[in-house]
Amino acid sequence: MKTLPLKIILLVAALWLPCSAYAAKNLLVFGDSLAAGYGIAVAESWVSLLQQELARSHPGYRVVNASISGETAQGGQQRIAKALQQHHPAVVILELGANDGLRGFNVADTETNLGRIIEAARAAQTKVLLIGMMLPPNYGKTYTLQFEKMYPKLAEKYRIRLVPFLLEGVTQEQFQADNLHPTKEAQPLLMRNVMKELKPLLR
């Protein structure tokens, strides 16, 4: 009996593999402690809930969480190239800037660093969803307003989608003792806030 060539055997085997094995795309979450699940179990974080939602509604996507607690826009700018090269994401969810604001960094510098991250992702043919944040009022009206406007400004400049405020709808009772990080009860709301603007990028 004649044996089939190895190339034909491999081709036939490949055709039997599920299509999803080839269609899977990485969605890179690139953020700080708000995306890293600070103070709660990782499985309870909005990023994990997002993976569960995508498995149901958009099974061709796989979430990769490259978020680091305490990360700043400058730190993110320094490591984005490696993250893009390592994960080759189809979409980047950029959730940075909050730590810059809480530390009183120059808003223009933060804006520049976020812009560089967006530019790196765009150069890699990657879609970007920008996550906006707000600061507590005790940082002064001028600074907080300048910080808040930074995100829509970036979204308009680069023509990318924006979640205006990640914590929109979170009540005071849904924050941890530090009054900065949401509890596990708030995580489904955060996931829905992100998913609302993410959906158009998954087509």
Tell me, what amino acid is at 190? L
Question: Is 135 within 8 Å of 147 (Cβ atoms)?
Answer: yes
What is the C-alpha separation between 200 and 149, in angstroms, rounded?
23
Pick from 112, 100, 104, 114: nearest CA to 70: 100
Question: Nearest-5° angle of CA 201, CA 97, CA 103?
Answer: 170
Active site residue 181: yes
Catalytic residue among 20, 32, 33, 48: 33
Catalytic residue among 48, 67, 100, 181: 181
Distance from C-alpha of 68 to C-alpha of 95, rounded to nearest angstrom: 11
Q: Is residue 178 annotated as part of the catalytic site, yes or no?
A: yes
Quick one: which of 200, 199, 181, 163 has its CA closest to 45?
181
Q: Which residues of 15-27 are buried (b: 16+ CB within 10 A; e: fewer)?
A: eeeeeeeeeeebb
User: Which positions are catalytic?
Assistant: 33, 178, 181
